[in-house]
Structure 1
Amino acid sequence: MNKRKTIKGLLIQYMLIGMVSIFAVAVTSMSIISSHMQDEMGDKGKKIVEVLSNSINTSLEHPLDDLYSLKELIEDENIIADIGDLLSNIVNNRDHFAAIQLVYFNGEVTEVSPYREEFLGIDVSRQEYFINSIKSNEPYWSSTLLSAQLDRPFVSLSLKTQKGLLVAFLLPETILDHVQKLVNLSKSYITVSDRTGVFIVHPYEEKVSERVNDPYFNKLKSDYYKGSKESIENIDGDQMLVYVEFIESLGWMIKFHQSLEIVLKPIYRILLVLGLLAITTTIIFALFASGQLVKVSTSLENIIQNTVKVADGDYDVHLQETSFVDLNSVINSFNVMASSLSERERELVQLNKRIQTNLDRLTHADHTFKTLLESTTGRYGQEFMDNLTREIAGWFGVDAVIVSKFDYETGVATAVAMNMDGKKVEGYQYPIKGSPCERVAEDGFGFFGKDVINLFPEDEDLQKFHAEAYLGVPMKNAGGEVKGIICAISKDPMTLPEWGQDFMTITASKVIAEMERMDAERKIIESLKEKEIMLKEIHHRVKNNMQIVIGLLSLQKQVSEPIVVHQLNESINRIYVMALVHEQLYKSNDLAKIEVSDYVKSLLGHIIHTSNIGKHIELNTDIDCVSFSIEDIIHIGLIVNELVTNSIKHAFATTENPRLSVSIKDMVDSVELIVADNGVGFPSGFNFSSSETLGLHLVDSLSGSLNGKMSISEKGTGATIRLNMARKSI
């Protein structure tokens, strides 16, 4: 039953395929033939209207030539002739002219032929042909109009001359005589419309005499100038193919009509023939297909059964060839496919095993790399190295891991980090020559799973470790130079994991980068220490040089006048202010700034000690721990020196128990310096800016450089000077 259904289904499929194929051929043939015939008919129609158009254009050349000749005669001053006679002569000798007028430039008719007195002197200035002609020196063809002079439709041809406007009247039938004859003889449906769409040639003469308008004129004119010269019109219930051409000078439209029924009749006949051919071919094809299908049905059923087996995964099938030659190629292809699928299945099984192995390797490697990142993240320098050796020992299950740096000059490798039996080892060194590390440095990655002692008998350290297996990878810098080795040593034989080499190579690149960073950091620290020592030495020498200057000035005092001695003392104190800064700097750990408390206290002790006023001065200080830059501390020291010296010199002359207080307070946004004494105070109206003494003038100038604001207050006895300095200037 299934076999019969298969044969019946295949028969129907083949019949449908055959019918569809024949139908497609028939439709394609019909389309090609129809298109060809329509193109042929279209070309014929286009040629007819082109011939008619050319014929009319030729007919227009004769009256135009005659009118130009008449213009030359009128304008020729050497020819003495009556213009009316010239007009009459050309009208009588030319069939295409019905009448000719000479119209003056104001629109008045001055000459007419044939002569009719009632037309002389009339005004034609409002006529369409006059309006368009008078503006141009080119000839102008008017639209078709009714003429009172001719009592019938006419077309005018106008040409401007020196004497006025020549207007020739032509009857359309004289221009279209051969067109009308063609219509009468061939019974062809040809129409001509003038510029306004009025028929001037038509198979039905009453449409011409009644001046009927072509209803399709405007649409066809628009389509024509858009590039379309074909259209379809419904004329008296008959669908007509229309081919259009325009006479540009006259604005006339020529149309050639063909009945669609006549054009399509040959196509209908061809369709009928093709339909009968399709039916006949389908019947023959169905009979042939049924006979062939009976022959191949058994083989097809066999192929289907074995295809089901292949679909179920049984690829060990083989079909025998049949007596049906055309089917043997299918059977052979099936056998090749089954054999290929069987081979591909075996390959896929092997591939799946390899994929699974690689997947396991990648999973382990991913876990290992994550562990590496977690164990080294946030660790740098020696901590990074020590942690890494411990982790590698755990990953590979080895007894020792060494990260060593090579010294090629001495031939010794020094362990940057080493982990042995779970403990950190420091200061380990070993000779490079004869060791497996030498081999790795030369050849690249190296793995010796067992018997490494016998492979490298010169390496005494391997003997001491009782090493059995070795794993090593070189550490290369960006230039490819080997800087050291990462190696793992085991007392038991070991197997290299598939991810082992990749992991060790990546780890080596990370370690060499960290080693280079550590070397760079060490060099920077050493350089900074050298510069710090140098700066301290410079400050020390500057301080010593200033002490020499102070000593020289002190010697100068011994041979100077009292007034000069006083000035030298002031200079010595000012130099001491700067010398003390340099002394503080070379004793300090911070070379960029100085803490103000110790500095000011030392300065005050020096000033009081060298004052020699013969009285004990009670000194009170309240100084916060505030740091200043070198430039600012010198300015502050000079200000304190001048203010304190001024108090000792001028305030305590009549004071029996002199007291002096100095405070420097951190006010968060600013720093306030206060110098106060219990002396005689400042004179009334005193101003630092107007002071003539060098010291006070210096105080005013230095406070400005600190962006400070100076103020003086006197309460009771003595004077208080405040200097408020903005913190941003400190």
Structure 2
Amino acid sequence: MVSDSSTVLLIEDNLGDIVSIRTMISELSDGVFELKFAESLGEALNILENENFDVILMDLGLPDSQGFRTFTQVHNQMPELPIIIITGLEDEDLGVSAVKEGAQDYLIKGQVDKKLLARSLKFAIERKQTEEELKSSIYERDVLLKETHHRVKNNMQVIHSLLNLQTHYAENMEAVNVLKESQNRVKSMGMIHEKLYHSTDRSKINFKDYVQNLTSDLLTSYKLSEKILPVIQVGDLELNLETAILCGLIINELVSNSLKYAFSNKEIGEVHISLNLVDNRYELVISDNGIGFPEDLDFKNAESLGLQLVNNITDQLDGDIELDRSLGTKFTIKFDDLKNLE
């Protein structure tokens, strides 16, 4: 609905046309219109810098500007303000071009009556109001989503701290290690929400930055930053929240396994992580140049919670997992984005 009072800037230098348009607007019953005038492009641009309007009515032929350039000058300065062109140029191609370039309407002098002008003004103002409401709604949603990610991240941090506190009461190293692994899992999920909190797109994250931070944290956690070199090759990918969390958990488990078991008899080593799109599927490869995966261990039926998680998450992603023992340990997981599985 048009508001009770709407402001209109009329850009026109012909006195007869000004009187005609003002008369039609004054007789409109659908709303009250406050009309202001500008007789040149320069004057109009100056007014628009200092005052707010709901709609612009403008001629294309002015003392200091002629033709389509008149419209583009105003539209470039006020791209969100609806502009109705009202001109003596009966040019259908020009009218089509104007609307394509952002004009709300293209009216011909001499063919415009009160009813036509009222309809054009009504549609222009209602469209502006709808766009403003939509922007406000999007902004509010974005703020709410950002706050949600912030709170989830904080809650994850609380859980992480509680697990850390619990390690001080554990009676043996096995329990300490279990708690430590749980801490890393919680942190890997919390880092996703932290990335989304700082991202301009609340639904996706830059996964390369995330993998670098996650790997660095794991090396620090296992006190291997000076011994193990991480080699990360992740394409310019943006994963949605669900896929990113699950993929992050896989990386956490397999990199943790490498750091715990692969380098017991080596002074230095490398862990490689790559993620790229191959034939429309994601291909995640995690490998190391350590002592190798035990030949007698079936990784798909292992008792280890970490490997069970990797297999279960791969199933959730509708993925396939392969192990190559020929040179160190190399896991290759191919999967789809969860949004494509809905």
TM-score of the two chains, using structure 1 as the length reference: 0.34
Q: Say if 1:665 and 1:673, in contact at 8 Å, map to a contact too.
A: yes
Report the residue type matching 1:660 in the other structure. Answer: V
> After superposition, what is the alpha-carbon deviation per residue over 1:537-580, rounded to whole angstroms, capped at 9, x for unaligned?
11101101111111111111112122111011011001011111
Of the three residues 139, 151, 160, the one matched with 1:541 is 151
In the superposition, relative to structure 1, how do residues 523 and 677 fare at CA in structure 2: closer, same or farther (>3 Å)?
Answer: same
Partner of 2:78: none
Pair 1:642 & 2:265 matched: no
Q: What is the rounded CA distance, in whole Å, between the counterparts of 1:659 and 1:421 in structure 2?
A: 70
Q: Say if 2:219 and 2:225, in contact at 8 Å, map to a contact too.
A: no
> After superposition, what is the alpha-carbon deviation per residue over 1:324-369, rounded to whole angstroms, capped at 9, x for unaligned?
xxxxxxxxxxxxxxxxxxxxxxxxxxxxxxxxxxxxxxxxxxxxxx
Q: What is the rounded CA distance, in whole Å, between the counterparts of 1:428 and 1:512 in structure 2?
A: 21
Q: What is the rounded CA distance, in whole Å, between the counterparts of 2:262 and 2:25 in structure 1?
A: 75
Of the three residues 530, 537, 562, the one matched with 2:140 is 530
Cα drift, residue 400 of structure 1: 11
Aligned ranges 1:57-72 → 2 under 5 Å = none
Cα drift, residue 658 of structure 1: 1.5
Cα drift, residue 726 of structure 1: 3.3
Cα drift, residue 516 of structure 1: 0.8
Which entry has the higher C-alpha Rg, 1 or 2? 1
Of the three residues 33, 40, 53, the one matched with 1:421 is 40
Partner of 1:629: 240
> After superposition, what is the alpha-carbon deviation per residue over 1:639-698, rounded to whole angstroms, capped at 9, x for unaligned?
000000000011111112111111111224111111110111111143322111100000
Report the residue type matching 1:524 in the other structure. Answer: L
Q: Say if 2:227 and 2:267, in contact at 8 Å, map to a contact too.
A: no
Q: What is the rounded CA distance, in whole Å, between the counterparts of 1:705 and 1:662 in structure 2?
A: 21
Q: Say if 1:622 and 1:662, in contact at 8 Å, map to a contact too.
A: yes
Partner of 2:309: 698
SS in 2 for 1:689: helix
Q: What is the rounded CA distance, in whole Å, between the counterparts of 1:690 and 1:585 in structure 2?
A: 35
Cα drift, residue 414 of structure 1: 5.6
SS in 1 for 2:300: coil
Q: What is the rounded CA distance, in whole Å, between the counterparts of 2:238 and 2:52 in structure 1?
A: 48
> After superposition, what is the alpha-carbon deviation per residue over 1:597-637, rounded to whole angstroms, capped at 9, x for unaligned?
11111111111111125851111111101111111111000
Choose between structure 1 and 2 for higher RCO, CA contacts under 8 A separated by at least 6 residues: 2
Cα drift, residue 701 of structure 1: 0.5
Cα drift, residue 420 of structure 1: 2.5
Partner of 2:56: none
Partner of 1:369: none
> After superposition, what is the alpha-carbon deviation per residue over 1:202-232, rounded to whole angstroms, capped at 9, x for unaligned?
xxxxxxxxxxxxxxxxxxxxxxxxxxxxxxx
Cα drift, residue 715 of structure 1: 2.5
Of the three residues 578, 585, 590, the one matched with 2:189 is 578
Q: Say if 2:204 and 2:240, in contact at 8 Å, map to a contact too.
A: yes
Q: What is the rounded CA distance, in whole Å, between the counterparts of 2:236 and 2:52 in structure 1?
A: 51
In the superposition, relative to structure 1, how do residues 614 and 668 fare at CA in structure 2: closer, same or farther (>3 Å)?
Answer: closer
Q: What is the rounded CA distance, in whole Å, between the counterparts of 1:502 and 1:726 in structure 2?
A: 57
Q: What is the rounded CA distance, in whole Å, between the counterparts of 2:185 and 2:281 in structure 1?
A: 26
> After superposition, what is the alpha-carbon deviation per residue over 1:262-284, rounded to whole angstroms, capped at 9, x for unaligned?
xxxxxxxxxxxxxxxxxxxxxxx
Q: What is the rounded CA distance, in whole Å, between the counterparts of 2:284 and 2:52 in structure 1?
A: 62
> After superposition, what is the alpha-carbon deviation per residue over 1:493-533, rounded to whole angstroms, capped at 9, x for unaligned?
xxxxxx96962331122111110111011011011101101
Report the residue type matching 2:214 in the other structure. Answer: L
Report the residue type matching 1:564 in the other structure. Answer: A
Q: CA RMSD in A?
A: 3.2
Pair 1:506 & 2:125 matched: no
Pair 1:566 & 2:185 matched: no
Pair 1:710 & 2:317 matched: no
Q: Say if 2:152 and 2:193, in contact at 8 Å, map to a contact too.
A: yes
Q: Say if 2:25 and 2:118, in contact at 8 Å, map to a contact too.
A: no
Of the three residues 586, 593, 597, the one matched with 2:208 is 597
> After superposition, what is the alpha-carbon deviation per residue over 1:118-148, rounded to whole angstroms, capped at 9, x for unaligned?
xxxxxxxxxxxxxxxxxxxxxxxxxxxxxxx
Partner of 2:276: 665
Aligned ranges 1:352-363 → 2 under 5 Å = none
> After superposition, what is the alpha-carbon deviation per residue over 1:58-99, rounded to whole angstroms, capped at 9, x for unaligned?
xxxxxxxxxxxxxxxxxxxxxxxxxxxxxxxxxxxxxxxxxx
In the superposition, relative to structure 1, how do residues 399 and 604 fare at CA in structure 2: closer, same or farther (>3 Å)?
Answer: farther
Report the residue type matching 1:545 in the other structure. Answer: N
In the superposition, relative to structure 1, how do residues 686 and 518 fare at CA in structure 2: closer, same or farther (>3 Å)?
Answer: same
> After superposition, what is the alpha-carbon deviation per residue over 1:8-31, rounded to whole angstroms, capped at 9, x for unaligned?
xxxxxxxxxxxxxxxxxxxxxxxx
Partner of 1:687: 298
Partner of 1:223: none
Identical amino acids, percent of aligned pairs: 30
In the superposition, relative to structure 1, how do residues 624 and 393 fare at CA in structure 2: closer, same or farther (>3 Å)?
Answer: same
Q: Say if 2:216 and 2:225, in contact at 8 Å, map to a contact too.
A: no
Report the residue type matching 1:540 in the other structure. Answer: H
Report the residue type matching 1:528 in the other structure. Answer: I
TM-score of the two chains, using structure 2 as the length reference: 0.70
Partner of 2:334: 724
Q: What is the rounded CA distance, in whole Å, between the counterparts of 2:51 and 2:113 in structure 1?
A: 25
Cα drift, residue 534 of structure 1: 1.2
Report the residue type matching 1:720 in the other structure. Answer: K
SS in 1 for 2:266: coil
In the superposition, relative to structure 1, how do residues 506 and 618 fare at CA in structure 2: closer, same or farther (>3 Å)?
Answer: same
SS in 2 for 1:681: coil
Q: What is the rounded CA distance, in whole Å, between the counterparts of 1:617 and 1:630 in structure 2?
A: 29
In the superposition, relative to structure 1, how do residues 527 and 614 fare at CA in structure 2: closer, same or farther (>3 Å)?
Answer: closer
Q: Which of structure 1's runs of 4+ aligned residues deviate more than 6 A? A: 399-405
In the superposition, relative to structure 1, how do residues 651 and 513 fare at CA in structure 2: closer, same or farther (>3 Å)?
Answer: same
Q: Say if 1:574 and 1:638, in contact at 8 Å, map to a contact too.
A: yes
Cα drift, residue 399 of structure 1: 8.6
Partner of 2:92: none
Structure 2 stretches of 5 or more lacking a match? 1-7, 27-31, 54-83, 87-108
Report the residue type matching 1:543 in the other structure. Answer: K
Greater CA drift, 596-605 or 637-646: 596-605
Q: Say if 1:643 and 1:675, in contact at 8 Å, map to a contact too.
A: yes
Report the residue type matching 2:40 in the other structure. Answer: D
